[in-house]
Amino acid sequence: MQSLPKLVLFDIDGTLLDHASQIPASTKEAVALLQAAGVHTAIATGRTPSDFTWVCEELGIHSYVSINGQYVVHEGAVIYENRMPVDLLSELSAFAGDAGHMTAYCGAGKVCVSRPAEPHLEAGFASVNLPYPEVDPDYYRHSPVYQGNIFMRAEEEALYISRFPSLRFIRWHEQAVDFLPAASSKAAGLVHLLQAFGVAYEDCAAFGDGLNDLEMLSAVGIGIAMGNGCPEAKKAANYVTASSSEHGIWSALQWLGLPQPAYLVR
C-alpha cells in the first residue's frame, strides 16, 4: 500500500467513464472519499470543457487540464490557455481539404467541424458519446482554437507529420487524430495546475488509458493505467489497475491508501 498523494488527476474517456460512457458508482464514491481526505482532485482530458461539464458536476471537481494541456482551470478560474495561430490553422485546413479530410476545431465553449455529417465522421464522435458538432468551416477565423481534429486513416498521417513539423498528431480513433502544438501535452498543461495548487509532480497520481496520457503518466509520482488502456499507457505507468468498467479507479485508490468508508469498517 502507498500513501495518498496530494493531487489525483483523472482522464475521462476510458478512465472515469465506463464502456457505457457513465461514471461507475464505485468511482463516484472513491472520488468523494479522496476529497473528504483532503486530497485535491482534477481532470486531465483531451476534451474541450463544454464536453465534460456534467462530469465535473457529478464529481464535484472544479479544476482541470483540458484540450490536452491547452486550456487549464484552477478552482473555476482559467489560469492558462494556448491559442493556435490562425495562419497555421488556415494552412492546415486548406491542406486537409485538398486531401479530402474533414477537420474539427476545438474552442473552450464548443467544437465546430468543416463539413456536414457522414457515417464514418459520426462514428468518431459517437465513440466518445458526443453528438455531431455544428458545421462552421471558418470557426477558427473568428474564435480562439486550442486544438483540432483531422479525420483520416493511420496510413495518411505521414502526409501531415512531414508538412507540419510544429504540430503533434495523437490518434484517438481509427479514423481520427488530434492536432496541437508539438510541445503541448497533458503533462505540459499540468505544470500550471501544480503551481496553482502548490504541489510537486512527485506528490501527484494520475489515471489514464490512451496515447495522450503517456507524458502525464510518466511525469507524475504515480502513473496508473486502466486495464482497458493501450499497451503504451500500461508501459508508461507505475501501476496497472482493473478496467474502468470493473472498479479500476476504486481498486487503485485502495492500493494508494484510500480510507474505507465508515460503513465498511468493522
Catalytic residue among 11, 18, 203, 209: 11
Mention every residue, 6+ apart, whose C-beta is less than 8 A from residue 87. Answer: none
Pairing of strands 64-66, 71-74: antiparallel
User: CA-CA distance, 115 to 12, in Å (whole number)?
Assistant: 27
Helix (H) or strand (E) holding 148: strand 147-151
**Helix, strand, coil share (%) of the chain residues, nearest 5:** 40, 25, 35
User: CA-CA distance, 149 to 47, in Å (whole number)?
Assistant: 11
User: CA-CA distance, 258 to 241, in Å (whole number)?
Assistant: 15
Asked about 138 being catalytic, the answer comes back as no
Give the residue carrying C-alpha cell 487549464: 72
Give the residue carrying C-alpha cell 473528504: 36
Burial of 9 (0-12, 13-18, 19+ CB in 10 A): buried
Q: 174 with 61: CB under 8 angstroms?
A: no
User: CA-CA distance, 227 to 245, in Å (whole number)?
Assistant: 9
Residues annotated as catalytic (active site), given as ranges: 11
